[in-house]
Structure 1
C-alpha cells in the first residue's frame, strides 16, 4: 500500500453517522416498540432509526425504551432478529468500547480464534480506547482481556498483542536521533530474525508514538533502501507478520488500512460478513467517510457499489445506510 500523510498531522476525521439534528428518544422508542411487536418485525423502521442516530442518541433511545416497556432494547433486537442483519442492528446498540470488547470476546471464545479481528482492533486503537475496551471487557464478561489473549494465542503474535493491549504507547513524542537508532534495530531484526530481535521489533512498533514511528519508517527506508512493509513481508510470516504490517499501516493512515481490510473481506474472502460489519459499525462515527474515499481511490469502485453487489435484502440496506453512499457511488 502507498504511504499517505498521517492523520495526526492534520487530516479531519469524518464519520458517516452524525447526531440527528431533530431527535426525540421517547418517540423513537415508541416507534421501535411498534416495529418489534407482532409476527413480522418492521425491519425498515429499525434501519431508518438506528442507522440515522449517533451512538449516544441510540443509548438514549434504549433508556427511553426501557422506561416505556420495561424491557431491554438490545435483548429484544437479539431475540427478534436473525442472521447478519441482527449482527448489524445489535452492533449499533453497543457503546464503542463495549462493541470492541464484544468483538474481541467472540473472536477468542468461539470455535477457534479469529486472529484478524484481534489484529484489526488492537493494532488500530489509541491508549484511551484500549483502556475503555479493557474496562468494558471486564464488566461484560467478568474476564481479563490480557489473560484471555495470553491463553488463546501463542508465540510472538501473542506477545505483540499483549504489548498492544497494555495501552502504553508514547503520545506526542518524536526524537530524530532515536528514530535512526530504532530503524537500525528494525533492520537488524529483519536480518537476524531471532526471538530476541523479534521482541525488540515488536517493542518499538507497540510502544513508540505515531510521530516517532513515522520518522522511524523514513529512516528505515534510508538505511535499507526498502519500504518497511516489504521488509516485514519478506522476513516474517503468519499472524505475527500480519499484525506487524497492520501496525505500520495504521501508523501511516488508518483510513487506508481499513479500506484495504474491507476490500480483502469483500473480494478475497467471499464477503467475510463479520469483518465488513465490524469495520462499518466501529468506524461509522470516526472515519468511515475517509475510508470510503480511500477505497474508491485505491480500488476504482466505491464501497457502496461493492456492498450492493455482494449483499442483499435488509442486510444490504442496513450496510448501505451506514456506508451512506450517494446514488453516483454505485
Structure 2
C-alpha cells in the first residue's frame, strides 16, 4: 500500500472550546506561587493545537508582560519541561531547535538529523531553514556540513536543499533508476554511493515507490535488505530511513519509538521529539502501526518507562482528545 493510500490522522486538533485569554489566565494561575499546578498546565497545553498555543502565548504576554515559554522553563524541570516547552514551539522552529541541539551539544546526535531530514516535505524543510536562520543566526546547511562527514553528510546536504520532486512518476525512468541502484549496491564506490543518494534524496515518493518495485523485479531482493547488506553506519541508516518513509512514514516512526523505548532504556529525547512533531500529523497512524507491529500499545510501553506528570503529558499527546489510555 502506497503511503498516500490511507487517511493520515493526528491526535491533537483545534479545540473548539479554546479561549486564548481564559487559557492564559488559567496558565498564569497555575504558574504562580511556590509550586506549579502541573495538571492544569498539561490539560491546557496538550489539548490545544499548536496554532491555539501560539495565540495563548500572545495573550499570556499581554496579560502578564511575561514570555510564557520562559515562565514554563523557570517553573518546570526535567523531561516534563522539555515536553511542555517543546509543545509551545511552532513546528518549523521546533525542528530547528532539535537540529541545533543535536549538532551543538557534546557530539552530534545523528539519529535526530536522520529522523527530521528523512521525513520532512520540501515545504517543511524550507520553513525549518528559515526558522533556524532567524533563531540561531546560522545557516543550517553550513552547520550540517561542519558537524557531519562523508557520504552521510552529502546525503543530508542534499535533503536539506528541499528539492525533492513532487507528484511525478515515470515507469520507464523507474526501471532505469532501479538499475542504477542495483549497480550502486554491487560496486559500492564513492561515485555509486553518490548516485544512490541522489536518487533517494531527489525523486518523488511516487517515483521511488515504483523504483523499489522495479528493483525487486531486477534483483529478486528487497531494496532495504540490499542496502543493509551493502552499506553501514549512519549513511546506511539514513538511506533506510528514506526507504521506510517512502513506504509508510507512520511505520518508520513506530519503529523509531519502539527502538527508543526498548533499545536505549527509554531514550527520552527521541520519544519526546517524535510525539510532539507528529502529534498533529499522523500520531494516530503511528499508534496503530505500533500496536500492529509490536503487539503492545504505545500507551502500555510509555506507562512502563515513564511516571508522574511526565507520563501524563506523553500519554495526553498520544491520546489527543480521546483520552483512551
Would you say how many aligned residue pairs link Structure 1 and Structure 2?
324
Q: 1:254 matched to which residue of 2?
A: 249
Measured on the aligned residues, the alpha-carbon RMSD in Å equals 1.0
Distance 1:27 1:113 in 2: 41
Q: Report whether the alignment pairs 1:242 with 2:246.
A: no
- TM-score in terms of structure 2 length: 0.98
Distance 2:130 2:237 in 1: 27
Q: Report whether the alignment pairs 1:6 with 2:2.
A: yes
Question: Greater shift after overlay, 14-23 or 164-173?
Answer: 14-23
CA contact (8 A) 2:316 2:323 kept: no
Q: 1:83 matched to which residue of 2?
A: 78
CA contact (8 A) 2:2 2:247 kept: yes
Q: Report whether the alignment pairs 1:292 with 2:287.
A: yes
Distance 2:15 2:324 in 1: 24
Q: 1:225 matched to which residue of 2?
A: 220
Q: 1:71 matched to which residue of 2?
A: 66
List runs of 5+ in structure 2 lacking aligned partners: none
Q: 1:107 matched to which residue of 2?
A: 102
Structure 1 runs, 4 residues or longer, greater than 3 Å off:
325-329
Q: Deviations over 1:87-128 (max 9, x none)?
A: 000000000000000000000000100000000000000000
Deviation at 1:7, TM superposition (A): 2.5
List runs of 5+ in structure 1 lacking aligned partners: none
Q: 1:145 matched to which residue of 2?
A: 140
Distance 2:292 2:312 in 1: 24
Distance 1:126 1:226 in 2: 28
CA contact (8 A) 2:159 2:201 kept: yes
User: For 1:53-202, what aligned pairs fall within 5 Å after superposition?
Assistant: 53-202=48-197
Q: Deviations over 1:2-24 (max 9, x none)?
A: xxx1222x321111011111111
CA contact (8 A) 2:167 2:206 kept: yes
Match of 1:319, SS state, is helix
Distance 2:29 2:245 in 1: 42
Q: Report whether the alignment pairs 1:49 with 2:44.
A: yes
Deviation at 1:327, TM superposition (A): 7.6
2:198 is matched with which residue: 197, 203, 209? 203
Deviation at 1:209, TM superposition (A): 0.4
1:37 is matched with which residue: 32, 51, 76? 32
Deviation at 1:328, TM superposition (A): 6.8
1:302 is matched with which residue: 285, 290, 297? 297
Note closer, same or farther for the CA distance 1:327–1:58 as it changes in structure 2 (3 Å cut): closer
Deviation at 1:235, TM superposition (A): 0.3
